[in-house]
Structure 1
């Protein structure tokens, strides 16, 4: 990928506009009957999967994502042989949220069910059910209906009379003006659902309906690199070189403008060197490989060990240096050349000499950006790092008088190194936690992880107060004001985490700590629970109480749903609004409870069967609101009409409060 392409993608990311809510149709299945012999055949389900999405495989553990399953409604003249079998390239990796290994397909998914024909006429009717997710949301359990008929008479089985392999996906994509025919379970339900189930997609659009948000991931990566570069500046390997290098450029020529130009070129060379490093990593590994490494148990153990080694180096146990002959060779080459090449080689020498300080920071940065799965993430991170590292050389060249005000090298730089060592040690536990969850060791449950973090940040605070010494620290026992405030922050953070040992959610560390389900001892009870998990019953109650309704379309396997409930719903103002001003109805679209009787519906001109409670709520979300991804929150009055645009995954608490208050204000109007 060229630099031009990288910058283009970065520019597009910064200008990314929110997408309008719509039915998502990332997976399209086709179904075919394949005769293997006179009395044996197989049903093959082949799906094409949009980029960024994946379809989960079969037989995943309980409590995890939705497994693909083969379901039979009617079977005559045939028997099933074995279970549904995945076929093709499966990806297996650890999901840190579910705390288990999961298997899934990308780009193409295929499942096969073998059939034994017992003779004479046969008929098979049923459906394949599967789950699909991307990094932001998941589809509800989706069914692929099929019907095959024929005669087993010692010849190749007859062609299928009907194969509706992509009915579920076509039903989810099409025009919003649907032809809906709901056959209810009871006459009473028909009376209730006549008004409540009325589609309100156009009314939602009138509110400026849009879900999704501007992606800040690339901006976050850039600023992470920028912060890393600023930290690297204040290390003993870089800071003392700044005045020497700038003075050299200003004194090597009588032309001040040329000296400034050379300093600018030096800074630009640093940017080019580190940007090239980021691009090389991208080209060698690729986005998918980096993302796979980020969740692979073995590589997470290696990342953990790498960060521990870097931390030990920062503590002063040893120095990580590149072979001296490398830097000497580059330095001598720089002296033999002139012009731009000489300046570039000087910048390259700086990169090699400063590796013992910058290496651990760069290593941690690359490990962090690997979790994004973005093809340009390493390049963006290195760009931010290089700009921060190069900026002082150009600024001091423009304003030479600033050199006199530069703090002199001293023990304060070692304090920064040791502080970084503590941080590297803390983050090493994050990667060890991923491996621990993958192998089921249960040696780093949530409370164990938090206990170690509490100790690490408490020790960091003690170090900053001068109570702990490392080999390169001087004997000066005075604690500066900045060190005191840094110690105060570190110790306060350690105290903040203590309630987490008893189950407090600790929103500030929720992205790093193991999932709450690994906590053995949990006293935390401040959770918001829905009053109803049945749409019609909740609507009748809301009408009687004269209250508006918030419908929460969720799923048992929806990770982002749990994040919203933990990070947003527990806010006092949010929980007060949900508990006192709204009737909260939570509908699980992956609820496997069988309906008393299957419900036949006609959607986009095709007939489908709703067999479970989850099917019913998923259909409600599609037909009434024109969406099919979770989490999905929508505010309606007690007649079923929308009060505001819908809300999806966004942990901005104030934005969620505004969403609820706007709906309440419109209801009162």
Structure 2
């Protein structure tokens, strides 16, 4: 289990680093001449706060040790053993079961080399290392050192003539761009973000309430409340301690989201690339299957017992510190029940639109729901008498959560299928799987399968009827040529309706006529003299599907798009479909870094960021065929706002 979490965090770090422009260490180099044939090449490294850099002497079967070697193709010199290092720190790792050696804040490495070629004036060394905090990032760069005292100039990013020419096609000659930054647009985005954060907070709160009703948490309420009420001489003291305990629970779960805020400081496309990465979605699919199995009782997932033992012993200190470690003990010992719910919340919050803030909102909501009962029962101990006794119903709750985890897992497999263009999990198959899961949940609740854990209660029968109702609601979704408004509650979760096992008119939303290439769409718009609806979307974009299936499907909006506009839908996560070799090129971004444009997803994501300074989806822009902006950009919104936005843009085009 320990290795599982380590690999998970390292996997997040690797995907992050692959798309990032930043790194938590900064390296400066100098050279000292020792003799005519010997030189000391010095790395002075500054390490960001809370990060640590592993030493060359870290154990081989632990976190990756640093290596220094001649860069590829470098000849005429040799390194003399390992570099000497400045002061390091040593700490026992419970994950690897041994001491690890690393640098904190800063590091100085002195690598001696012996030169065999007298004409050599410059050498290049490769520094390969691993830098970590809650997750790890690889660091692999070449550094140049001067041997004759002359300054070694850093290479300025350059691209060939082909790349320069193709890059120009991504820098659009937009006109009237002031509309993109209108005050109404900014206000709309802020309002949408606030609504999204509130929604994810509520979802996290609901998840916390579900976690409270599990066998790992519910039985702890009387014990914890009794501890606080008996420990304090005055009732007010016990209430104060219990409220502080609840606050620390919220704080601990909120702190768990902080590492992911680092992602917001990286490339603006990073969250989109992570959330739509094929292999990461498969990874989440497997993880949620494992979580579901733990809820079904096949095995139990726990954190290392030493963690809970240390936290529990520290809770006896008393005061603020003791109360904090009591809250930490609860978080650790209840992990087997709360972990799967938190894992689902983590996976669902890694989106391109405010993922870190959404995750924090969800974690805080989860912690608040978990802490609230403890605080309330401490304030009103008499309420404990009204609590139902622990029993089989808690296990029933846990199994039901297992079915929900199982259903949620297939959402991530669907994302991978859509982005990878595999075509194995079509919409009807996905809905059929969900209908089967709902039907099996109903059978379990009615007592036909699985353990009954006592008598079948009336409430359990009601839940079974609800689950059966969900199965009946989903069943028509597997039939041929469903109505466009069928199963609308699944919008954003199920694959798009054109991703079907049945023959479709085209692969565009709602069978609208659309272009998936910007240049082709603009050329057609010029030929018919119609304005353009530029739709930055994604195969795995939940809000994109919701907009298409709940807003675009409305007759007035549908007719407006179909009759008045030329729709250009650009899928920014289409990283499996390669551009023709002659169309692949290097693009120099605003920060001077070079990005290789290999896929259609690379091209459209870069087009969006370079011209509209935005990397979230859905993102809609209205423009004329001559690239004149007609209205403020629009994102996820309601029906009336979107319809008025379309009408305003069309009126401006006509005028």
TM-score between the two structures when normalised by the length of structure 1: 0.54
- 1 CA distance for matches of 2:236 and 2:632? 58
> CA 1:287–1:650 in 2, change beyond 3 Å: closer, same or farther?
same
Aligned equivalents of 1:281 and 1:384: distance in 2? 17
Structure 2 residue 555 is matched with structure 1 residue 572 = yes
> Structure 1 residues 470 and 323 mapped into 2: Cα distance closer, same or farther (>3 Å)?
farther
Question: What SS is found at the alignment partner of 1:129?
Answer: helix
Give 1:108-507 correspondences, 5 Å limit: 112-113=159-160, 128-130=165-167, 143=169, 168=171, 171-172=173-174, 213-214=189-190, 215-216=193-194, 217-280=196-259, 292-324=273-305, 326-335=307-316, 337-372=317-352, 374-437=355-418, 441-464=422-445, 466-471=446-451, 473-476=453-456, 478=458, 480=460, 482-484=462-464, 486-495=466-475, 497-499=477-479, 504=484, 506-507=487-488
Change (3 A) 1:224 1:562: closer
User: What is the distance in 1 between the residues matched to 2:346 and 2:568?
Assistant: 40
Identify which of 509, 512, 531 aligns with 2:493. Answer: 512
- Residue 555 of structure 1 and its aligned partner are, at CA, apart by 8.0
- Give, in whole Å, the separation in 1 of the partners of 2:548 and 2:271: 30
- Which of 649, 653, 657 aligns to 2:635? It is 649
**Paired residues of 2:443 and 2:449 also in contact (CA < 8 A):** no
Distance 2:355 2:178 in 1: 36
Counterpart of 1:165 in structure 2 is: none
- Cα distance change of structure 1 residues 341 and 571 upon mapping to structure 2, 3 Å threshold: same
How far the C-alpha of 1:576 sits from its partner, in A, is: 5.3
Q: Report the CA distance shift for 1:111/1:633 in structure 2 as closer, same or farther (over 3 A).
A: same
Distance 2:220 2:533 in 1: 58
| Secondary structure at the counterpart of residue 454 of structure 1 | helix
| C-alpha spacing 1:386/1:555, structure 2 compared with 1 (3 Å) | closer
The alpha carbon displacement at 1:260 in A equals 0.7
Deviation at 1:659, TM superposition (A): 4.5
Q: Residue deviations 1:353-412, cap 9 Å, x none?
A: 211111111122222223347445544432221111111111222233333333333333
The answer to whether the 8 Å contact 2:418/2:540 transfers is no
1: CA distance, partners of 2:217 / 2:458: 25
Residue deviations 1:95-136 (CA, integer Å, cap 9, x gap)? xxxxxxxxxxxxx996743xxxxxxxxxx9997234xxxxxx
Structure 1 CA distance, aligned partners of 2:185 and 2:311?
59
CA contact (8 A) 1:461 1:490 kept: no
Structure 2 contact 302–336 (Cα < 8 Å) conserved: yes
Gaps of 5+ in 2: 1-154, 515-520, 572-610
| 8 Å Cα contact 1:419/1:460 also seen in 2 | yes
From the superposition, tell whether residues 557 and 463 of structure 1 become closer, same or farther in structure 2 (CA, over 3 Å). closer
Deviation string, structure 1 residues 128-186 (Cα, Å, up to 9, x no partner): 234xxxxxxxxxxx538xxxxxxxxxxxxxxxxxxxxxxx56x54xxx6xxxxxxxxxx
Contact in 2 for aligned 1:534/1:587 (Cα 8 Å): no
Structure 1 pair 481/515, CA: closer, same or farther in 2 (3 Å)?
Answer: closer
Q: Deviations over 1:577-619 (max 9, x none)?
A: 667xx745557999xxxxxxxxxxxxxxxxxxxxxxxxxxxxx
The question of whether the paired residues in 2 share the 8 Å contact of 1:246 and 1:396 is answered with yes
CA radius of gyration, larger in:
1
Alpha-carbon distance between aligned partners in 2 of 1:412 and 1:553, rounded to the nearest angstrom: 52
**Deviation digits for residues 399-453 of structure 1, max 9, x if unmatched?**
3333333333333322321221111111212222344456665433333323222
Gap change, CA 1:632 and 1:212, over 3 Å in 2: farther
CA displacement at 1:343 relative to structure 2: 2.0
Q: Give the SS at the match of 1:568.
A: helix
In the TM superposition, residue 342 of structure 1 has moved relative to its aligned partner by: 2.4
Of 658-667 and 323-332, deviating more is: 658-667
Change (3 A) 1:460 1:654: farther
- The structure-2 alpha-carbon separation of the partners of 1:485 and 1:535, relative to structure 1 and needing over 3 Å to count, comes to same
When the two structures are aligned, how many residues end up with a matched partner?
A: 441
Q: Contact 1:300 / 1:434 at 8 angstroms: preserved in 2?
A: yes
CA displacement at 1:276 relative to structure 2: 2.8
SS at match of 1:631: strand
Q: Which runs of 5+ in 1 are unaligned?
A: 1-107, 114-123, 131-141, 145-167, 177-199, 540-548, 591-625, 636-640
Give yes or no for contact 2:291–2:405 (8 Å, CA) kept in 1: yes
Measured in 2, the distance between the counterparts of 1:494 and 1:304 equals 21
Alpha carbons 2:291, 2:402 under 8 Å: kept: yes
Aligned-residue offset at 1:261: 0.6
C-alpha displacement of 1:238:
1.0
The answer on whether the counterparts of 2:219 and 2:390 sit within 8 Å (CA) in structure 1 is yes
- Partners of 1:238 and 1:301 lie apart in 2 by 30
Mapped to 2, the partners of 1:206 and 1:437 lie a distance apart of 35
- Taking a change above 3 Å as real, the CA distance of residues 418 and 496 of structure 1, as seen in their structure-2 partners, is farther
Conserved in 2, the CA contact under 8 Å of 1:446 and 1:516?
yes
What secondary structure sits across from 2:166 in the alignment?
Answer: strand
Q: Indicate yes or no: 2:621 matched with 1:632.
A: yes
Using the TM superposition, name which of 493-502 and 403-412 deviates more: 493-502
- 2:228–2:238 CA contact under 8 A, matched in 1: yes
- TM superposition shift of 1:274: 2.1
Shift of 1:296: 3.3
